[in-house]
Structure 1
Amino acid sequence: MTIIAGARPNFMKIAPIIHTLDEEISKGVNINYRLVHTGQHYDNNMSGSFFEQLQIPEPDVNLNCDGGSHAQQTASIMLRFEDELLANPADLVIVVGDVTSTMACAVVAQKLHTKVAHIEAGIRSEDWSMPEEINRLITDSITNYFFTTSKKANENLISNGVDKNSIFFVGNTMIDTLLKYRSSFFAPKIWNELTLAPKEYIVMTMHRPANVDEEVQLKLMINGIMQNSRELPIIFPVHPRTARILKELQINHPRLHTTEPLSYFEFNYLVENAKAIITDSGGITEEASIMNIPCMTLRNNTERPETISLGTNVLVGTNPDQLKKYFDLLFKGDWKKGQPIPKWDGKTSERIIKVLVDLYK
């Protein structure tokens, strides 16, 4: 089989799969894999350090498909992955999540008559302005085996006509990684530089176009966060594209502290010790919910409704005027507590590999 990794969230999701595969291979199970890194993310802290921290082997090949527009990157990945798969045929291509690499490699595999397994299949935001939603729809329309994180994802797939016998509700591999490495998290440099203390700062991430590409919207949102966060420092690990925009807009606040993208261990150390998280990332809402950290999502929708119904996440929306009521709730100490989310138990990768081994006996 061939396993695809391309962007930051992919690495957290493939790590436990690789570890479980290696365990099965050591027991004599007749299965092998090839790891393909598309190179979609190329900042070392957004890709390279993950291989070391999460104990993932160096990829068998890096396609180096970084940069460019969505169309350019998709074309680059498809062209280079086609050559890779022709040179190294596989019985199955495993794709994870919803990034460009996921969709592009799934299309190439099917056109070369290779079956596709999609891990984290079936999640939907119903927001077609998000590139990730388009990637999900395309990938799930041509997938053979669907591994889901929730019963809602199962329902989405069945409503789209997917045979329920091809759907496997297994849980969330990203939570496998979180639980395995939680004791290894460590403080980034900014922790000591700012003399941070547990529950006395807020972590913020923003990268979605709806929040960062509109200059007026970005300024209003950051101003709203600063006005309502009392005296707490705001720690903002900045995505490269967001950093460029902030610099152009000359956005500066004494309590707003930007930093370069952090490694997985460093970032989650900040999350685990934060008073709250403000984000527009779906994956971070999952991690915050498991670590029971209050989380405000700056979006009008989410593809991960379980983080709201069972987790610590709330949808604030994209109107900065909505921030005050959620900050008031936070500072009153009345934030909801996270509840157990079915099958987010650290054993998802074991369930996935068991299904695959049974399928390919």
Structure 2
Amino acid sequence: MKSKPGEHTFLAQLTGAVSGITGRWILLVAGSVLLSVLFGFWQIPAAALFAGVVTGIAVNSLGNLAYPRHFSRAGQAILGMAIGLMFTTAALEAISAHLLPILLVTAGTLILSLASGLLFSRWTQIKASTGLLSMTAGGAAGITAIAQEFEADVGLVAIMQYLRVILVMISLPLVVLFVFHDHSANTATLAGAHLPASWAGSLLLLLPGAPFGIWLARKIHITAPYLLGPLLLTLLLTLLHVNPTRALPGPLLEAAYLLIGWQAGLQLSISRLRLHLRLIPRALLIILVLNLCCALLGVLLAHLVGVSDLDGYLATAPGALYAAVAVSMAAHGNVLFVLGAHLIRLLMMLLIMPPLARKLLDPARNT
């Protein structure tokens, strides 16, 4: 069947529009928003970030699109402030009496992540900093956001981090169902737990606060200043009860996720993605062992502090913070303890793993 001349003209115009820089940016933004809505409907964690990665890969396969570095740094700053606002007084009070056991178990998780990352890098012959950040157990969005700062393969880090998050998301309800028989959970029950957000307060926090936090972090030589500077400043303001808002508005956080997701996706293409597929089986094996070890650490933590085995397991789940808290809520567990333990590990991972990645990178520069 022959196509009409008008169809050829339309396809030629469409192809020409997409091949231009402006057309690819329009496709990137529109496609990311549509996918974000779809992924959100499917309850995929950090749906906008994942949508940005997928759309970025598709757009990059049509032709290279230069991505301004200050876009990803803006996303890091917003994300850092969102994390800082999560450290509520109630969550920290719930773990203050058990801080030492939590720190020890968190240190164990960190050591397991370090060993897993080094094993992954040597087993697959990739850069050590890429392997280390790929296997960091916690803070998937934050780790992906700062990967480029350490010359890691951002695309591969994003894939491995989301592979870990997806495995945790899938395994949480299964473990609760088959191991903790007396509990039932629904990961959708967290929806009503969000803190009130203020646009005016958020802008008041973000516009002067983010640049100051970044400047201060660079002044005192904190690694990953664009994420950790705003995070630590917001954490301090939260603990002092002087924050102008209790949470960032959803659209602002979604925009940060998109900015970070684009950074990762635009460094990948379909052909390059095929090269990474060969790493998936080995990565899966390492992630599964890491998850099992974290579960054993969770049971140990539960016995040390006197909470249920379920709460210990959820508190040490390697990622998927919101899912872990939601399961704890649905099972009538110690929600604040689970949230507090995750926040302590998130902060420790973001503070310690980047300097380790930098140390692993420096010898490579000198050889």
Could you say whether these structures have the same fold, taking a TM-score greater than 0.5 normalized by the shorter chain as the test? no
**TM-score, length-scaled by structure 2:** 0.27
Larger strand percent: 1
Bigger relative contact order, structure 1 or 2 (CA pairs below 8 A, ≥6 apart): 2
**TM-score, length-scaled by structure 1:** 0.27
Larger Rg: 2
Larger helix percent: 2
